[in-house]
């Protein structure tokens, strides 16, 4: 492992990263990596359960992300490392300008350099900026990540969030049940407040969509989206074969309005649609 750490240091000296991202479950190795790069702010992604180590890392102001499983196959290492990095970016842990040195030490070892702007999030921000605030999208994605990772009582479920152009979205949809948000105060429906996320996640489990306006206020849940079957026949909706009505609804409402749709699948994938097209996809870990 000494030789691997030396090669990581050599790469660091070449690429001059601004942050270190360690994906590892071995407590001793994690400490060795942190000690080898004392000048770099660090993030550790682990499914280890060493509470003493986690406490020690947090005291050193190292961000710790708990994950379900670490990448294990040589073919999916790159994608999974990028996915973890994207989550960190959306959550505000890393900045779009950061250059990352990503060290993977599980049953395989890899050292990868990433410019955050090159792994998808910059393009996403550019794609939505004419429709909704990136901060609003970030808040909704935080909720989506939580649903994808945690589900309810260990069971994963799907959810659909439709953001912006609320007047037209409401015209293209109908209430399936009594709107559970109707009697809640505005302050209790703001998606920017993490204290409200539990309630929003609960209502997101209902059949139908959660509708969020441009100001970041959840206005309705349990909303049935009218799917534009004419657009399906024209094949103008970018929905992969095998995906269900939730994804069709997400693509359709983004085609018929200027809304942005965020859909979480029961398999923990997150997709974002604009103008009927998929503009972002992420498999959470």
Going residue by residue through the chain, which has 285 residues, state the pLDDT in tens, using 9 for 90 and above.
Answer: 788 888 889 889 988 999 998 888 888 888 899 999 988 988 888 876 778 878 888 887 787 777 656 555 444 555 667 777 777 776 777 877 888 888 888 766 778 787 776 666 667 777 888 999 888 988 898 888 888 877 655 677 899 999 999 999 999 999 999 999 998 999 999 999 999 999 999 999 999 999 999 999 999 999 999 998 777 767 777 787 778 899 999 999 999 999 999 999 988 788 999 999 998 887 664
Instruction: Give yes or no: residues 140 and 225 share one domain.
Output: yes
Q: What CATH number is given to the structural domain containing 257? A: 3.40.1700.10
Instruction: Give yes or no: residues 129 and 269 share one domain.
Output: yes
Instruction: Give yes or no: residues 228 and 170 share one domain.
Output: yes
Which residues are within 8 A (CB) of 16 and not within 5 positions of it... i.e. 6 or more apart?
99
pLDDT for the residue numbered 199: 94
Backbone angles phi, psi at 20, to 5 degrees: -115, 135
* Boundary (domain end) residue, out of 84, 117, 150: 117
Question: What pTM does this model have?
Answer: 0.66
* Boundary (domain end) residue, out of 66, 98, 117: 117
Instruction: Give yes or no: residues 24 and 110 share one domain.
Output: yes
Instruction: Give yes or no: residues 53 and 110 share one domain.
Output: yes
* Boundary (domain end) residue, out of 69, 101, 117: 117
pLDDT for the residue numbered 264: 93
Residue with tokens 């049953």: 107
Instruction: Give yes or no: residues 208 and 107 share one domain.
Output: no
**Pairwise CA distance, residues 264 & 62, whole Å:** 29
pLDDT for the residue numbered 139: 87
Instruction: Give yes or no: residues 53 and 190 share one domain.
Output: no
**Pairwise CA distance, residues 188 & 199, whole Å:** 9
Domain hosting residue 111, numbered range:
2-117
Token output for 122: 């910059």
Instruction: Give yes or no: residues 241 and 159 share one domain.
Output: yes
Instruction: Give yes or no: residues 97 and 149 share one domain.
Output: no
Instruction: Give yes or no: residues 111 and 171 share one domain.
Output: no
Instruction: Give yes or no: residues 150 and 52 share one domain.
Output: no
pLDDT for the residue numbered 224: 96
Which residues are within 8 A (CB) of 147 and not within 5 positions of it... i.e. 6 or more apart?
157, 159, 201, 204, 264
**Pairwise CA distance, residues 278 & 234, whole Å:** 16
DSSP state of 196: G
pLDDT for the residue numbered 79: 62
Render the burial of 35-53: b for 16+ CB within 10 Å, e for the rest: ebbeebebbbbbebebeeb
Token output for 188: 């209790």
Instruction: Give yes or no: residues 140 and 269 share one domain.
Output: yes
**Pairwise CA distance, residues 23 & 9, whole Å:** 16
pLDDT for the residue numbered 80: 66
Q: What is the total count of domains within the chain? A: 2
Which residues are within 8 A (CB) of 108 and not within 5 positions of it... i.e. 6 or more apart?
71, 72, 73, 74, 77
């Amino acid at each position: 492992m000494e030789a691997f750490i030396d090669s990581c240091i050599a790469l660091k000296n070449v690429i001059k990263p601004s942050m270190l991202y360690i994906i590892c479950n071995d407590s001793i190795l994690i400490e060795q990596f942190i000690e080898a790069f004392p000048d770099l702010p660090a993030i550790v992604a682990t499914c280890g359960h060493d509470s003493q180590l986690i406490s020690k890392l947090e005291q050193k102001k190292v961000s710790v992300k708990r994950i379900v499983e670490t990448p294990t196959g040589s073919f999916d290492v790159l994608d999974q490392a990028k996915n973890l990095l994207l989550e960190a970016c959306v959550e505000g842990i890393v900045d779009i300008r950061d250059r990352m040195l990503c060290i993977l030490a599980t049953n395989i070892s890899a050292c990868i350099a990433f410019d955050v702007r090159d792994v998808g999030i910059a393009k996403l921000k550019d794609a939505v900026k004419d429709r909704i605030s990136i901060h609003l999208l970030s808040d909704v994605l935080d909720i989506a990540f939580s649903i994808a990772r945690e589900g309810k009582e260990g069971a994963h479920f799907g959810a659909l969030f439709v953001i912006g152009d609320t007047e037209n979205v409401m015209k293209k949809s109908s209430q399936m049940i009594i709107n559970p948000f109707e009697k809640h105060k505005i302050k209790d429906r703001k998606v920017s407040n993490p204290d409200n996320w539990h309630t929003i996640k609960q209502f997101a489990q209902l059949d139908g969509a959660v509708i969020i306006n441009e100001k970041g206020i959840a206005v309705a849940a349990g909303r049935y989206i009218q799917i534009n079957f004419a657009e399906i026949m024209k094949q103008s909706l970018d929905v992969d074969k095998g995906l269900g009505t939730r994804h069709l609804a997400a693509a359709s409402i983004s085609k018929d309005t200027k809304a942005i749709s965020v859909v979480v699948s029961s398999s923990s994938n997150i997709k974002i649609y604009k103008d009927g097209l998929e503009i972002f996809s992420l498999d959470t870990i």
